[in-house]
Amino acid sequence: MLQTPAEWTHALGARIQARRAALGLTQAEAARRSGVSYSTWRRMETQGRAAIEDLVRAALVLRCEQHLDTLFPPPVATSMDDLLKAQKQARTPAPRRRASPVRKTESGA
């Protein structure tokens, strides 16, 4: 089901609140541990509004950091050609640059 950004943010705030409560933390304690202000934590839970850094801090305190890298997975291939191209790029290492030879200079003596 499609949700509006407001619906997503409110739902995420509610999930943060539920996770915090399940861990037995007060809002004040969670805010202190995360390094965000109490008012920011309250706003995150009640309105679903926070900076990305505050959301990451909340995930760390609530022990959900392992899920952060699943938020924006790489796009899937839309065609077989795209899939083959992506596989080829993954297999082909970047070209190495050769070190330029060191030239010895003769001293003027």
CATH code of the domain in which 16 resides? 1.10.260.40
**pLDDT score recorded for residue 79:** 87
What average pLDDT score do residues 70-98 get?
A: 80
Output the CA torsion sign for 27, 65, 50, 33: positive
Residue 14, domain extent: 5-70
What average pLDDT score do residues 60-84 get?
A: 88
Question: Rounded CA gap, 33 and 55, in Å?
Answer: 13
**pLDDT score recorded for residue 95:** 64
Mean pLDDT (the chain) is 87
- Overall domain count for the chain: 1
Model pTM score? 0.68
What average pLDDT score do residues 61-73 get?
A: 91
Residue with more model confidence, 17 or 90: 17
Residue 59 within any structural domain of the chain: yes
Q: Is the pLDDT of residue 108 over 80?
A: no
Residue 91 within any structural domain of the chain: no
In this structure, what token pair is assigned to residue 59? 């995930």
Residue 93 within any structural domain of the chain: no
Residue 45 within any structural domain of the chain: yes
Cα end-to-end distance, the chain, whole Å: 83
